[in-house]
Structure 1
Amino acid sequence: MSGVKDGTQGVPRVRHARVEDLPEVARLAAEHAEYEKAAPPAADLAQRLAGPLFGGDGPPRLYCLVAESADGKLVGYATCAPEFSTWEGRAYLHMDCLFLRSGQRGHGLGPLLVEAVVAQARTLGLDEVQWQTPVWNEGAIRFYERLGATGKEKLRYALKVE
């Protein structure tokens, strides 16, 4: 897949997550939530992700790409899923999360993760990726703008369904 490096031992790379990666992806998600000053994810997140990523009949509902450091440790992830824009009358790929552990940023893995998400969009026949970041996350905003992305001002709301 274009955007996913085939690296060998000693070379940082991005690849699709495997089932055995899910406990570490859940730990990364917990670090991501802490970084964004959000509530921690569900304790059983790894199990909750398994179905949308690997189960079911038909295509996955969620795609997860993981970043490996040169020593083979998972140090980041990106997740994405197809969505539909009513206003534009077309589908796009929504990147829900992109996170690299502190100390892993600035070494080229962030662009590799974004390239892999873009490659996933191409594979799905989609011509746009959309995402959001907190307005206070100036480092992420600079990173995305260096990639050529443009921001759209909006507030995100959530409403619990009980």
Structure 2
Amino acid sequence: MTVPLARRAHHEDLPRVAELAAEHAAYEKAAPPPADLAARLHRLLFGTEAPRLRCLVAELADGTVAGYATCAPELSTWDAAEYLHMDCLYLTEAARGHGLGALLMAAVRAEARALGLRQIQWQTPTWNDGAIRFYDRLGATSREKRRYSLPAE
């Protein structure tokens, strides 16, 4: 009997991850990702010896990829240390509430440990009550901040 699992994304998962990223962007009321997202992700995940990005997927017992988490090492000036920044964690609506989020978070934590990093940081929209409850149940702590972005040009 096959059970759901969290694993590293493979090359062939990237079209599905791109679909999920588009769903995720729509869910968060953000602009859609670029049309060539799968190719861009391929370069970040598989294009070098030391990938800049890590992608983990939640796979259902039937082999369907129902969610993903992406993360990358970042630096904290205040701690003068690296941490693992989880950029995205998303599950399809049908996949929520079945333990897949916990599987993805466990995989992200394992990734942090494998990289020798002691902390994981991420953010979620203040209106995303389901995610906030999930992260609180994990024992995560939060700090109120606003996220800004500014074009470089």
TM-score bracket, normalised by the shorter chain, equals over 0.9
* Structure with bigger RCO (C-alpha 8 Å, 6+ apart): 1
CA distance in 1, matches of 2:2, 2:64: 11
5+ unaligned residues in a row in structure 1: which ranges? Answer: 1-8
2:106 maps to 115
Give the C-alpha shift of residue 161 in structure 1. 1.5
Give the C-alpha shift of residue 55 in structure 1. 1.0
> In the alignment, is residue 40 of structure 1 matched against residue 32 of structure 2?
yes
Match of 1:101 among 92, 116, 119: 92
> In the alignment, is residue 146 of structure 1 matched against residue 137 of structure 2?
yes
CA distance in 1, matches of 2:69, 2:7: 10
Report sequence identity in percent. 67
> In the alignment, is residue 12 of structure 1 matched against residue 4 of structure 2?
yes
CA distance in 1, matches of 2:96, 2:83: 27
CA distance in 2, matches of 1:156, 1:112: 27
Give the C-alpha shift of residue 43 in structure 1. 0.3
Deviations 1:24-57 (A, max 9, x none): 000000000010011100000000011110112x
5+ unaligned residues in a row in structure 2: which ranges? Answer: none
2:51 maps to 60
CA distance in 2, matches of 1:86, 1:63: 22
TM-score by length of 2: 0.98
TM-score by length of 1: 0.93
Give the C-alpha shift of residue 10 in structure 1. 3.0
Query: Which one-letter code corresponds to 2:23 in the other structure?
Result: E
Aligned-CA RMSD value: 0.8
Match of 1:23 among 11, 15, 25: 15
* Matched positions, count: 153
